[in-house]
Amino acid sequence: MEVLGMLGMGFATALTPENLFYCFLGVFLGTFIGVLPGIGALATISMLLPLTFHVPATTAIIMLAGIYYGASYGGSTASILLNLPGTPSAAVACLDGYPMAKQGRAGVALFMTTIASFVGASLGIVILTLFAPKLSEVALSFGPADYFAMMLLGLVAAATLAQGSPAKGIAMVLFGLCLGMVGTDVQTGQQRFTFDVPYLSDGVSLVAIAMGIFGVAEVIGSIGRVTNAEVAAQKITMRSMMPTKADWKASWKPMLRGTGVGSFFGALPGAGGTIASFMSYAVEKKVAKDPSRFGKGAIEGITAPESANNAAAQTAFIPTLTLGIPGDSVMALMLGALIIQGIQPGPRLMTEYPELFWGLIASFWLGNIMLLILNIPLIGLWVRMLRIPYSILYPAILLFICIGVFSINNSYFDVLVVMAFGVLGYVMIKLKFEPAPLLLGFILGPLMEEHLRRAMLLSRGDLAVFYERPISASFLGVTAILLLWAIYASIRGVSAASRLRAQAKAAEG
């Protein structure tokens, strides 16, 4: 009952006109950029980070979160109509969604993915509401050694489970950690890697890194590559969207299974929506009576992964809000936004800033209801958005990046720094380095160093503290297994993500 009382307070926070407006803005933008291939949640949240300097913390987080889960609703639209995923986690929706569109059932596919998204998200929020308070109680007993081990596991998991080669993922985490070292050392006041440039004494700006690497570099990489494919010439009418009884019957169990798979992978550090949706597709193929239907427009092939990635988008907030450990790079940006506002994420967040925590959860409910309305009666609007050419979109993106970063300090120098990171990000794209783990390393770097030094101070330099404490020992054990596997895989040239994708692709047959 305590939870209900807190949730009531959360709704009081989320229902203020300002928060309601920003929640709507977030989910609207999220759907918009989710629908459009070539711009993702990461780039959009980076672009809107400067706004967090102008509005209160709770409002800012409500909006940024809205973009994140809104994008996972919109992502499947382009998958179904163009066979081109709008977001990475919607890639699976191509497998059966596009065949459905070719059979003239695009409307049904769009309707059912929205329903599946809503089911997955709602149950995800319930799980978040029930587990987060428990987990943050447990986390209060963590010592600095446990924290260090947990962050290490989070980073290694994010790097090894990401796309591409695990060794390159870990290298990017390390590079991010190095960037995080720039600035003033908290314990001694020593200036590190600042080279007497006063601008660097507060460290490299998170906003500049995120905007440069995910905004500017993405645009450079996308020009000439993103072309507007012909939108399937189908009129999406309300009548064409109505699923049959058989569609409902075939979908409700996969939605629940998808939610289960998604909630689990969402809460794991480093896994997230993409892996969750591929996994749930694999599960559906395993339990199906007739697996040969998959890839030819089987409805459970879109509803289960959609429930999974939306449930994952909600449960990803569990480690972020309770432990202060971001599961993926979008969550890392959210943590960054909190830190910018002077709020230290971690197990005390819930008791120190209850209106932020519960207000955010209440806003998830409101945001998902808004998304249901945005995605069913207004689906025609989004389908038309797919016709916006990239040559109009990218100057607008760049302009928002430039004005946004300029507005933080009214300094043109910040714009130059963003451009420098844009070049760095482009070099990384060309050398096939995944930029997302860099951001995780950058944000967790200073925290990890602090916990390591505190742990060493408390244990008087005895490293045994890491394996004598059961919590830390088990985190380190899992980390070691992942690392060994990563080294093995980099020599053999395989990765978890590519193997999963191969499994799902096999469905196409």
Count Cα atoms within 13 angstroms, Cβ side, for 243.
Answer: 22
Question: Minimum distance from CB of 434 to other proteins (Å)?
Answer: 12
Question: Minimum distance from CB of 502 to other proteins (Å)?
Answer: 19
399 binds other proteins (CB under 8 A): yes
Give whichever of 311 and 448 is closer to other proteins, judged by the CB atom: 448
406 binds other proteins (CB under 8 A): yes
Among 25, 181, 231, 478, binds other proteins (CB under 8 A): 181
488 binds other proteins (CB under 8 A): no
Question: Minimum distance from CB of 51 to other proteins (Å)?
Answer: 8
433 binds other proteins (CB under 8 A): yes
Count Cα atoms within 13 angstroms, Cβ side, for 375.
Answer: 32
Question: Minimum distance from CB of 183 to other proteins (Å)?
Answer: 11
**Is 183 strand, coil or helix?**
strand
Among 223, 229, 373, 506, binds other proteins (CB under 8 A): 223
Q: Are strands 191-192 and 183-184 parallel, antiparallel or unpaired?
A: antiparallel
**DSSP character at residue 89:** G
Helices (H), 55-103: 57-82, 91-102
Q: How far apart (Å, rounded) are the C-alpha atoms in residues 34 and 382?
A: 10
Residues 98-127 that bind other proteins (CB under 8 A): none
Q: How far apart (Å, rounded) are the C-alpha atoms in residues 237 and 378?
A: 10
**Is 184 strand, coil or helix?**
strand
As a 3-state breakdown, the chain gives helix, strand, coil percent values, each rounded to 5, of: 75, 0, 25
Contacts of 488 (CB under 8 A, 6+ apart): none
Among 4, 17, 141, 188, binds other proteins (CB under 8 A): 188
Exposed, middle or buried, 121 (CB in 10 Å: 0-12/13-18/19+)? buried
Please check whether residue 61 is in contact with residue 101, taking contact to mean a CB–CB distance below 8 angstroms.
no
Among 286, 431, 464, 509, binds other proteins (CB under 8 A): 431
192 binds other proteins (CB under 8 A): yes
Among 339, 341, 355, 449, binds other proteins (CB under 8 A): 449
Give whichever of 83 and 194 is closer to other proteins, judged by the CB atom: 194
447 binds other proteins (CB under 8 A): no
201 binds other proteins (CB under 8 A): no
Residues 339-398 that bind other proteins (CB under 8 A): 391-392, 394-396, 398
Residues 48-87 that bind other proteins (CB under 8 A): 51, 54
Question: Minimum distance from CB of 422 to other proteins (Å)?
Answer: 7
Q: Where are the beta strands (DSSP E) in 229-312?
A: none
How many residues line the site for other proteins (CB under 8 A)?
A: 63
Please check whether residue 247 is in contact with residue 108, taking contact to mean a CB–CB distance below 8 angstroms.
yes
Segment contacting other proteins by CB under 8 A, of 275-283, 284-292, 424-432, 474-482: 424-432
Radius of gyration of the chain (CA): 22
Question: Minimum distance from CB of 471 to other proteins (Å)?
Answer: 21
426 binds other proteins (CB under 8 A): yes
**Is 192 strand, coil or helix?**
strand
Instruction: Identify the H or E element spanning 106.
Output: helix 106-139
**DSSP character at residue 230:** P
494 binds other proteins (CB under 8 A): no
Exposed, middle or buried, 389 (CB in 10 Å: 0-12/13-18/19+)? exposed
- List of residues contacting other proteins (CB under 8 A): 51, 54, 165, 167-168, 170-171, 174-175, 177-178, 181, 185, 187-188, 190, 192-193, 216, 219-221, 223-224, 391-392, 394-396, 398-399, 401-403, 406-407, 410, 412-413, 415-416, 418-419, 422-423, 426, 430-433, 448-449, 452-453, 456-457, 460-461, 463, 487, 490-491, 493
